[in-house]
Structure formats: structure tokens, C-alpha cells
């Protein structure tokens, strides 16, 4: 007897937070930490997601088995790290349903379908319209660029050039749904200001991608400006995107030509420090507060959602 296990990678935002919600350019990468969905004890939202996927493709399974998600790689105890566990679980659950419906989830067209279904369910569950970039990363893996709702896979080499990255958990959870809600309310109350900031974020995001292949200094300048704009945005919308502690760390590391910015909605979860390759990590680590935890094992995951048949 065989059992099907489906997994999808988590994600890290590099640049484009908030701006990508309005069709501007955003870049995120898949990481080597996965959410697994497998048959077993009923728990959480997996079965509801699978039913949504079955209904979306018009498939009726003969027997409704119970499935559960293992997201432990993206948590510390019961605290989420902010590495896209929700989108990875949704993608894995949708994919498990399509496998049962007889579809090949390694096929690009099927992965696009998974993205569409998972994105729709994810937005419904979050009660906010997201960009779909985090869901795309879990579907396709690698480094994904999104602009105007269109996704494109990037080469990690062309994106990172002479830059190195250090990813850090702040020890504090951030509520992405609350952040997006605050952003939407800000857009309604201060439409002109919001449009100006979003456009500036988009311009800087594009500048970063253009510079990243051959100009590390300009890339770092773009990242520093993006962090500054995120701070301005946070103040305007009443959500602390760049926290006091983040600013203090930035002050300490700027002598190394390093830049710290939130990865994602901000306020907590993950921050990334960007710096020129060759700088020993210890120079940066010694400037971190005690609650900041380096995630040194994180690497880019080139493979997206996948399934394996496991012997019981």
C-alpha cells in the first residue's frame, strides 16, 4: 500500500513588500524549509483546502480521506517564523487534491492551476487580497519576480551578484493580515500620499533588480532607500513596519556597508541583512540583540511543490 506526501517550500521576500500589492515589482525566493501534507489524523484547515480544490476542478473523490499538515520546519515551538507557512500549506493541500484527481503536479500548466486555486483560497482565508507572490514561490520554487500580477523565474546568480544575505528571526511575530488591512485603510484615507509612496517603492524595487547583476554598491543603496520608504509607509499607515530595534541594528552595521530591511510585512518575523560578499558574518552577528536569531541554514530552494509516493 502506498501513501502520497506533498510538500511546498516556504518563502523570503527580498524586495517589493506592499508595492507588489498594487502591481509594482516584487521579488521573493523559495527556501529549503517545507510544509508537508500527508494522509493521517484530521487537523487544521487541510481538508477544507482540499475540498475547495476538488470543487474548483470538478472532481469528486470516492472516499474522503483525512489529511494534515506538518509545518514544524517553519515554526519554533508554536511560534511561526514568518517564512510563508500559510501559503506553503495551502499550496501543498491544493496539490495533494490535484494528485488525487490524477494530475501531474510537476507539469507547469498544473502548477499554474495550483497557484490560481491556492491564491484564491489563501485570499479568502486571510480576508484580504494578497499579491499572490508568496503562493507563486511555494508553487514554482527558485527566485520569483512578479510585476503587474505576472510571474517570472529569475536566475539566483543574476539576482545576488556580489551580495551576500543573512536572514534573521526577530523573535517577534508579525500579523501580515493586520499589516495589509492597515495598508488598505491608509490607501482609502490618504489616497494621494499612498500612491506616491507605492510608486516610489516600485521605482526602487526595479532599480534594485537592474543594479543587482553588476553593481553591489548601487544595489545596497537601493535596499537602504527601500527600508527608508518602508519606515515612512509604516508611520503613515499606523503600523510599525521598521521597528526601533531594527533601526538600532542598522546603525551598528552601517559601518560595514550593510543594510537591514524587513522581509515581508515588517514589525517582526524575519529581517535580512544585505552586504558585500567576503565580509565575515561574525562582524554582523556581534551587533545583534539577544532575541535576534540567525537562520544560517536557510538556502534557496529551486524545487517548488512536489510529491513523493512513500511505502507504508
Mean pLDDT of 159-188: 90
| pLDDT for residue 43 | 63
pLDDT surpasses 70 at 311:
no
pLDDT band (50, 70, 90) for residue 309: low
Mean pLDDT of 38-51: 83
Q: pTM for the complete prediction?
A: 0.92
User: Among 93-97, 144-148, 187-191, which is the least confidently predicted range?
Assistant: 144-148
The phi and psi torsions of 24 (rounded to 5 degrees) equal -80, 175
Residue bearing the bigger pLDDT, 111 or 215:
111
| pLDDT for residue 119 | 92
Cβ atoms of residues 88 and 9 within 8 Å:
yes
Distances (CA, A) of 163 to 61, 110, 118, 258: 49, 34, 32, 10
| pLDDT for residue 39 | 86
Domains of the chain: 2-156+299-311 (3.30.230.10), 158-294 (3.30.70.890)
CA distance 309 to 54: 20
Torsion of CA 260, 72, 28, 295, to 10 degrees: 30
User: Among 36-45, 251-260, 267-276, which is the least confidently predicted range?
Assistant: 36-45
Q: Which residue in 239, 229, 6, 237 sits closest to 106, CA to CA?
A: 6
Across 6-20, 59-73, 118-132, 297-311, the highest mean pLDDT is recorded for 6-20
pLDDT surpasses 50 at 19:
yes
CA distance 18 to 279: 30
Mean pLDDT of 97-121: 94
CA distance 116 to 136: 9
pLDDT surpasses 80 at 96:
yes
| pLDDT for residue 1 | 38
Percent with pLDDT over 90 in the chain = 75
Mean pLDDT of 257-273: 95
Can you count the helices (H) and strands (E) in the chain?
10, 12
- Residue showing cell 513588500: 17
Mean pLDDT of 171-186: 91
pLDDT band (50, 70, 90) for residue 223: very high
Residue bearing the bigger pLDDT, 96 or 64:
96
Amino acid at each position: 500500500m502506498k501513501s502520497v506526501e506533498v510538500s511546498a517550500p516556504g518563502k523570503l521576500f527580498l524586495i517589493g513588500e506592499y508595492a507588489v500589492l498594487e502591481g509594482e515589482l516584487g521579488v521573493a525566493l523559495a527556501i529549503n524549509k517545507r510544509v508537508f501534507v500527508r494522509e493521517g489524523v484530521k487537523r487544521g484547515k487541510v481538508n477544507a483546502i482540499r475540498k475547495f480544490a476538488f470543487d474548483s476542478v470538478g472532481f469528486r473523490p470516492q472516499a474522503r480521506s483525512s489529511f494534515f499538515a506538518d509545518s514544524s520546519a517553519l515554526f519554533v515551538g508554536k511560534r511561526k517564523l514568518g517564512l510563508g507557512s500559510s501559503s506553503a500549506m495551502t499550496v501543498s493541500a491544493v496539490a495533494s487534491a490535484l494528485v488525487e484527481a490524477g494530475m501531474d503536479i510537476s507539469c507547469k500548466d498544473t502548477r499554474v492551476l495550483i497557484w490560481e486555486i491556492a491564491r484564491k483560497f489563501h485570499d479568502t482565508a486571510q480576508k484580504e487580497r494578497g499579491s499572490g507572490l508568496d503562493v507563486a514561490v511555494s508553487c514554482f520554487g527558485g527566485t520569483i519576480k512578479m510585476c503587474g500580477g505576472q510571474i517570472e523565474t529569475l536566475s539566483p546568480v543574476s539576482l545576488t551578484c556580489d551580495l551576500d544575505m543573512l536572514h534573521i528571526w526577530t523573535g517577534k511575530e508579525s500579523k501580515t493580515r493586520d499589516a495589509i488591512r492597515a495598508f488598505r485603510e491608509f490607501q482609502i484615507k490618504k489616497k494621494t500620499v499612498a500612491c506616491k509612496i507605492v510608486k516610489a517603492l516600485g521605482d526602487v524595487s526595479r532599480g534594485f533588480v537592474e543594479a543587482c547583476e553588476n553593481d553591489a554598491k548601487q544595489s545596497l543603496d537601493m535596499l537602504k532607500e527601500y527600508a527608508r520608504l518602508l519606515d515612512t509607509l509604516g508611520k503613515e499607515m499606523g503600523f510599525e513596519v521598521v521597528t526601533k530595534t531594527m533601526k538600532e541594528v542598522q546603525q551598528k552595521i552601517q559601518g560595514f556597508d550593510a543594510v537591514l530591511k524587513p522581509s515581508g510585512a515588517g514589525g517582526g518575523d524575519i529581517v535580512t541583512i544585505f552586504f558585500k560578499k567576503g565580509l565575515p558574518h561574525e562582524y554582523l552577528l556581534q551587533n545583534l540583540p539577544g532575541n535576534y536569531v540567525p537562520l544560517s541554514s536557510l538556502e534557496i530552494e529551486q524545487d517548488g511543490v512536489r510529491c513523493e509516493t512513500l511505502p507504508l
